[in-house]
Structure 1
Amino acid sequence: MSRADREAAARRVMDRTPPRVPPELYPDAVRRGARILRRRQLVHRVLWVLLCVAAVAFTVWALVAQPWVEPPSETTPPLTDW
């Protein structure tokens, strides 16, 4: 099958009228679509909440642990009796 034949076959397929959808499928499709949207919104909200909780937990840890402060040196003993 040559390229022109494939293009002609594709055009014939696209020019046909789409088949009629039974009307009783519409309510099921609307219900499923609404359910998918609600589930997607819930997942997005949960992920945003988890992100905010992680940011707050990291901030609290950083304020308590202060990882930017150099720990005191314990390699030399303190000088006494001078």
Structure 2
Amino acid sequence: MNRTQREAAVRGIMDGAQPQVPPDLYTDVVRRGGRMVRRRTVARRLMWLVLFAASVAFVVWALTARPWVEPPSETTPPLTGW
């Protein structure tokens, strides 16, 4: 197809009658859309809950393990009695 034929085909499609949508399609689309919104909402809340639980677990671990404190040296005896 050359350019003029393609333009004529597109104009024919655009000038044609609007397609008819089956009446029962609307209810199916609304039902599926609502289901998708509910699933996304549940997934988003679950993600936030997992993130919150992970951050609480990290804070509890950090407070109990205290990884920023240098461990005591066990290779040399302590100096006492000087």
Residue by residue over 1:6-64, the C-alpha shift from the partner in whole angstroms, topping out at 9 and shown as x without a partner, is 56644554454441111111111100000000000000000000000000000000000
**Bigger Cα displacement from structure 2, 2-11 vs 48-57:** 2-11
1:49 aligns with 2:49: yes
Structure 2 residue runs without a partner (length 5+): none
2:75 corresponding residue in structure 1: 75
- CA gap of 1:12–1:59, structure 2 versus 1, over 3 A, is farther
Normalised to the residue count of structure 1, the TM-score between the two structures is 0.79
Identity in percent: 62
Count the aligned residue pairs: 82
Deviation at 1:69?
Answer: 0.2
| Alignment RMSD | 2.2
- CA gap of 1:14–1:54, structure 2 versus 1, over 3 A, is farther
